[in-house]
Amino acid sequence: MILISPDAFAQLHRLPAKDAKRALEFVTKFQKNPANPGTSLERLTGVIDPNLWSGRVTQDLRAILHKGDTWTILYIDRHDDAYRWAERRKIARNPTTGALQIVETSEEVEAIIKQRPPLMTEQGIFDKHADDYLLSLGLPENWLPTVRKIKTEDILLEVIEKLPPDVGERLLNLADGKFVTPPLSIPKEKPVTESPDTLRRFIVIEKDDELVKMLEAPLHSWVVFLHPSQRNLAYGNFNGPVKVTGSAGTGKTVVALHRAKHLAGLGNTVLLTSFVTTLCDNLRHNLEYLCTQEELGHIAVATVHKIALDLLRSAGVRMAPVGSDDLKKLFENFLAIYPISFDADFLGAEWDYVIQEQGITTWDQYRSAARRGLGYPLKVAERKLIWEIFARTLESLNGKRLMDYSQICRAARELLEASKVESPFSAIVVDEVQDLKSQELRFLAALAAKTGSLMLAGDGGQRIYSKASSLKSLGINVRGRSKVLRVNYRTTAEIRRFADRILGKSADDLDGPSESRGDTRDLLRGPVPVHRSNKNTAEQADFVTREITERLKNGLKPEDFAVFARVRKSLDVVKRALASAAIPYRFLTNENESGDTSGVTLATMHRAKGLEFKIVFVIDASDEMLPLPSAFRRIVDPVLRRDAVQRERQLLYVTLTRARDEQFVCWVGNPTSFLEKALDSAAYAKEELEAAR
């Protein structure tokens, strides 16, 4: 039996392909026989922990290991970086709780505290708690003096990053005024693996197949561990709906996955849902790495629309869904009859944002309906003519037993509220909630009405489909049960800051007001994103191909790269350039998203959501393509037009944040106006200086 730290897994996925393969071979070899001469074990000197060892992975790579009751693989990196990691850490059983802990030295935090002297009136956050009580929570004794100096929340966040996650979680709860029960202490003579805190922090490997399954999991699927600020959300008890927000990369989906797992483990029948099928496919795939078979048996993963449709059909309602294109054709047919100056696009917006938003079915309802969020006023006579078309549309749909998805969700909700059907779920977890419309959200709230177990995770800054609406206006009360995640795990600080400058310092918080995005903290650093102007599309494609070719020589794999564009046609030139260089590629579509993943990914920006790549190229980011004129040209209403342009901006943000390590933005002609602040070198330098401070 050996233990493996999540830091070791994280490092495996950051290494170039050739090095990662050698590292996997080392871990497998060590797991089978730690005494194998091929591991070249050496005890480290000049470190604070005398039980740390290094293992030779390659000429330049080292694994850091700890020898105690059992071997623990802690970290894998370049020789010098691995040794620096080891210098600052001590691994030992906590004398109070018996849990195995990786503890960093406190010098860095002490330096930060000195740089930020508190006000004379500030009290220590933990002043009212005795030393023995803090130690009983698992706090390492050498950290006690540092913890006593914590007087502000930002310093507390610095501290918990250096402490074991279970201890950091307890300190956060304590700082929030909650009573925290000390963990059960494990006697010294008991194995370290009997401590629940050890099992939360380390993976216990006893069989070869367990190790192989974890090592073969792709990066985006490896979601076993949670940050303390996330664990409260995933495993907490809440009296009502919970809202989880945060910018891209802060772990909202990880929280949703763990929440589903936790609730399933308690015996609940859980629905894990999102807006589109491809996102649900990703969620289902990740659950397979996270959950036991028993837990998986309690979790259904499906789109909101599928669940609503299934519920209607279970009640004997025989109908079929109608798409927006078919609805538009109906509007166009009736426009040929009724003499009004509006086109099918205007009617489509009115249908979505007034008729279906409010569940209107009669003229009296429409005549007095509020049109909040719309800027184009309508006279009563205009409303009357528009209603004639909508009435004919409803009649036509009913005659053919058709409903659009808003109608389907509303009809399913009404059945639930009338107790004509029962919710098949005792808990609902929603990912990417920002892209759901009002009727969809009301339906989900009705599904969870009896138990109140509803978690909504999303980011208003990543809304690319629906018009904004507040949860409060839909009767979903999340007051006192809202959390903003502030730690970015997925992308480098440089990529996150570049993308954030496109959106600004605040975003819709899904419940009315805006929330700040400026205080997000980053765990990874990397190169500054590259932005490049090109004379023509051929030069742009050649640049992309050269950059990919160079990195392939350094050990990266084709599937580590993605090239995104606003429209598919822009990708054709890149496709030909890759083919000429004999670099494999694949076009990402709905049909193949969950299938073969080999080759450089080529996709439109709308296919980017939910994905992650080591290196991302965004091409044709020009003022002619972003915002795409056809996305809003026919929108008459000025408010809806503004919203459409904002969704184009957010679409670019979503695409940029798919990159983990490196990001390239290219255009032909003039760059999109969305990049104006991001390309401002003076603004960037100022941000970097502030971050350094």
Average pLDDT over residues 191-211: 73
**Residue 438 to residue 353: CA distance in whole angstroms:** 9
In a domain, 214, yes or no: no
In a domain, 515, yes or no: no
| Better pLDDT: 686 or 575 | 575
327 and 294 part of one domain: no
Strand (E) positions, 473-513? 482-484, 487-492, 506-508
User: Which residue range forms the structural domain that includes residue 25?
Assistant: 1-93
| Number of domains the chain contains | 5
571 and 685 part of one domain: yes
**Which helix (DSSP H) or strand (DSSP E) does residue 571 occupy?**
helix 571-580
681 and 532 part of one domain: yes
Q: What is the pLDDT of residue 546?
A: 97
Residues in CB range of 465: below 8 A, 6 or more apart = 275, 435, 647
Average pLDDT over residues 381-407: 94
560 and 671 part of one domain: yes
Contact (Cβ atoms closer than 8 angstroms) between residue 348 and residue 331: yes
Q: What is the pLDDT of residue 658?
A: 93
Lowest mean pLDDT of 255-269, 328-342, 566-580, name the range: 328-342
Asked if pLDDT for residue 570 goes beyond 90, the answer is yes
3-state DSSP call for residue 610?
Answer: coil
**Residue 374 to residue 620: CA distance in whole angstroms:** 32
21 and 162 part of one domain: no
582 and 662 part of one domain: yes
Return the number of other C-beta atoms located less than 10 Å from residue 539's C-beta.
15
The dihedrals phi and psi of 378, each to the nearest 5 degrees, come to: -120, 135
**Residue 45 to residue 35: CA distance in whole angstroms:** 20
Lowest mean pLDDT of 37-46, 160-169, 659-668, name the range: 160-169
Strand pairing of 2-4 and 71-78?
Answer: parallel
Strand (E) positions, 51-99? 52-56, 61-67, 71-78, 89-93
Q: What is the pLDDT of residue 329?
A: 93
In a domain, 201, yes or no: no
The residues pairing with 562 across neighbouring beta strands, listed in sequence order, are: 601, 616
Structure confidence at residue 380 as a pLDDT band (50, 70, 90)? very high
309 and 327 part of one domain: no
Rounded to the nearest integer, the mean pLDDT of the chain is 86
268 and 353 part of one domain: no
3-state DSSP call for residue 348?
Answer: helix
303 and 331 part of one domain: no
Last residue of a domain, one of 133, 158, 184: 184
The Cβ-side half-sphere exposure at 248, using a 13 Å CA radius, reads 30
304 and 328 part of one domain: no
Nearest to 73 by CA among 2, 1, 165, 162: 2
435 and 307 part of one domain: yes
pTM: 0.74
Average pLDDT over residues 62-88: 90
Q: What is the pLDDT of residue 590?
A: 57
In a domain, 500, yes or no: no
Asked if pLDDT for residue 535 goes beyond 70, the answer is yes
The Cβ-side half-sphere exposure at 255, using a 13 Å CA radius, reads 30
3-state DSSP call for residue 102?
Answer: strand
Asked if pLDDT for residue 407 goes beyond 90, the answer is yes
In a domain, 412, yes or no: no
